[in-house]
Amino acid sequence: MSSLYERIGGAAAVDAAVDIFYRKVLADDRISDFFEDVDMDRQIGKQKAFLTMAFGGPNNYDGKSMRDAHKHLVARGLDENHFDAVVENLANTLGELGVAAEDIAEVGEIAGSVRGDVLNH
Amino acid sequence: MLQALHGSPPPDSQRGLKLNLKQQNFFLPCICFPEADLQIGNDSRKQVAATVTRKFARSPLVVELHLSPETDIPYRAGQHINLLCRIDDEDFVRSYSLSSHPGVDEDLVLQIALVDGGKVSAWIHDSLAEGESVAMQMPVGTCVYSCVSVEQPLLLAGVGTGLAPLYGILRDALHNNHQGPIHLFHGASNEQELYLNREFDLLHSSNDGFYYHPVVRSEAGQRGISQKSIEESIACLATSLEGWQVYLCGNPKFVKQLQKHCFLLGASSKEIFCDEFVSAQN
Ligand code: HEM
């Protein structure tokens, strides 16, 4: 059986998803403040790492670096609700791209598995 | 990221790069397995001498400088060069965008704003004279006309002398027989600083698809033009920028905010090209 990453469409799917996903995140008042001052071109590169990871693809991130990447955001108040909002935007993005519901659920699980690291619990 | 000067990098090595970078043969060396010879390199540090052939005021704040380099210099409209100047025994390097087009203009043309307290811009405005020589480095920069289809609508927006590279890019688009509509927005602190309005009126009358949108500050006492007023003018033009190509030049704050705005209006992140003018310390 093919992997989740392959079923979703691999690197091409990441490319297709990144603009849609980041547009949703920037337009979402619940979380947009966290992205206010970040450089868009650099952040789009990082979003690709985010998506690759969430799609179960090859990535270079472990719990420790997820913790480090978001520590300063936790200090600014990043919490469960923000986390859920990001996962919701991700699910909606995949829905728009025609990804199957079971696969979206699996993406949600992968994202959920780093919740403790991202929120520095 | 590296650039191939001769030969084309394999498409796989350009995965995920912005369109303009792909077209200019940039590639990612870590995933590049060349299928044919590739020549890479970088001569941007090379110095050449150039003679000032013409200098005149475009507006109270902007002076235009025409430079004739000692050797032929290949470049793309929209790129920038470094000028190296020695003022009172101190060396300065300043980056200025080219407003010229290699197919139209014989000389390299710069439009230089007088910066508050800026030593170099004051020296260029007050001291540098026609006939004198300056040292410069090779043109660099990736914010150049990068259309795949000549039908694509274009949005060009700049504040102050952010207009200079846009003037080059605009004429490059016309030179390439661009068919889609082209909208150019120029933000300035007052009417006098809309320093290319006559040129644009002429271009508008000879090119059906070209539109010039001057924007000046509305409130007295406010310094500079806010990107908000340009955003409002864009809103009058289109509700979605999906499928557009966007070129933004000016100070970093203006460029970053308008970049985000255009992205939220639907422009692809790969088709928003930015040239930020970072001002020097003195
Ligand atoms: C499934 C959960 C998440 C994953 C897998 C994830 C993944 C990542 C990755 C890979 C980076 C790049 C790190 C680097 O190399 O610099 C990053 C950065 C970032 N993330 Fe997340 N993230 C998640 C949740 C969130 C949430 C909930 C927010 C805020 C609402 C958020 C906001 C950010 C910001 C603002 C950055 C950039 C930080 C900076 O450069 O200053 N992330 N994330």
Chain B residues touching residue A15 (CB < 8 angstroms): 15-16
Q: Is the CB of A118 under 6 A from ligand 1?
A: yes
Most confidently modeled range among A55-59, A72-76, B113-117: A72-76
Within this chain, domains B47-137 and B154-276 share the same CATH topology: no
> Count of CB contacts below 8 A, A vs B?
28
Two tokens, residue A3:
């992997």
Nearest to A40 among B15, B260, B266 (CB): B260
Q: Is the CB of A91 under 6 A from ligand 1?
A: no
Torsion angle in degrees (nearest 10) through CA of B7, B11, B14, B17: 120
Nearest to A40 among B15, B16, B269 (CB): B269
Please report, for the domain that includes residue A58, its CATH number. Answer: 1.10.490.10
Q: What is the pLDDT of residue B194?
A: 94
For residue A20, give how far its alpha carbon lies from the nearest alpha carbon of chain B (Å): 9
Which residues partner with B247 through β-bridges?
A: B156, B273
Q: Which atom of ligand 1 is nearest to the CA of A65?
A: 13
CATH architecture, domain defined by B47-137: Beta Barrel (2.40)
Residue of A46, A51, A55, A87 to test ligand 1 pocket, by largest number of atoms within 8 Å of CB: A46
For residue B269, give how far its alpha carbon lies from the nearest alpha carbon of chain A (Å): 7
Q: Do A44 and B260 touch (CB under 8 A)?
A: no
Long-range contacts of A64-71 (CB under 8 A, 24+ apart): A64/A117, A66/A114, A66/A117, A66/A118, A67/A117, A67/A118, A67/A120, A70/A117, A70/A118, A70/A119, A70/A120, A71/A120
Q: What is the pLDDT of residue B29?
A: 75
Element (H, E) at A7: helix A4-8
For residue A105, give how far its alpha carbon lies from the nearest alpha carbon of chain B (Å): 26
pTM greater than 0.95: no
pLDDT per residue rounded down to tens, chain B (282 residues): 778 877 888 888 887 788 888 887 878 777 777 777 777 766 667 899 999 999 999 999 999 999 999 999 999 999 999 999 999 999 999 999 999 999 999 999 999 999 988 899 999 999 999 999 999 999 999 899 998 899 999 999 999 999 999 999 999 999 999 999 999 999 998 889 999 999 999 999 999 999 999 998 765 555 555 566 888 888 888 889 999 999 999 999 899 989 999 999 999 999 999 999 877 654
Chain B residues touching residue A40 (CB < 8 angstroms): 256, 259-260, 263, 269
Q: What is the pLDDT of residue B90?
A: 93
Residue that wins the pLDDT comparison between A12 and B78: B78
CA distance B235 to B16: 29
Q: Is the CB of A119 under 6 A from ligand 1?
A: no
Question: How many Å lie between the centroid of ligand 1 and the Cα of residue A3?
Answer: 24
Q: Are B145 and B166 in contact (CB under 8 A)?
A: no
Domain containing A32: what range? 4-118
Best interface-test mutation with A: which of B26, B257, B263, B276 has the largest number of A CBs within 10 A?
A: B263
Nearest to B264 among A11, A27, A39 (CB): A27
Chain A residues touching residue B259 (CB < 8 angstroms): 40
Q: What pLDDT band is residue A63 in, cutting at 50, 70 and 90?
A: low
C-alpha B115: how far from chain center? 18
Nearest CA to ligand 1 atom 43: A50
Interface confidence: ipTM more than 0.90: no
Question: How many Å lie between the centroid of ligand 1 and the Cα of residue A72?
Answer: 11
- Residue closest to B15 by CA, chosen among B27, B4, B3, B1: B27
CA distance B6 to A80: 52
Mean of pLDDT values over A53-71: 84
* β strands within chain B, DSSP E: 2-6, 26-27, 39-40, 47-57, 62-69, 80-87, 90-97, 108-113, 133-137, 154-159, 182-188, 210-216, 245-250, 272-276
Our count of domains for chain A comes to 1
For residue A24, give how far its alpha carbon lies from the nearest alpha carbon of chain B (Å): 9
Q: What is the pLDDT of residue B114?
A: 93
Least confident of A30-34, A60-64, A86-90, B264-268: A60-64
- Residue closest to B158 by CA, chosen among B147, B167, B150: B167
Domain boundaries, chain B: 2-40, 47-137, 154-276
Q: Do A40 and B268 touch (CB under 8 A)?
A: no
User: Which residues are within 8 A (CB) of B111 and not within 5 positions of it... i.e. 6 or more apart?
Assistant: B58, B62, B63, B64, B65, B96, B97, B99, B161, B163, B164, B195
B272-276: strand order across its sheet: B210-216, B182-188, B154-159, B245-250, B272-276
Q: In chain A, count of helices (H) and strands (E)?
A: 7, 0
CATH 3.30.1490.20 describes domain B154-276:
no
CA distance B228 to B244: 20
CA distance B178 to B174: 5
Chain B residues touching residue A48 (CB < 8 angstroms): 16
Nearest to B15 among A11, A26, A44 (CB): A11
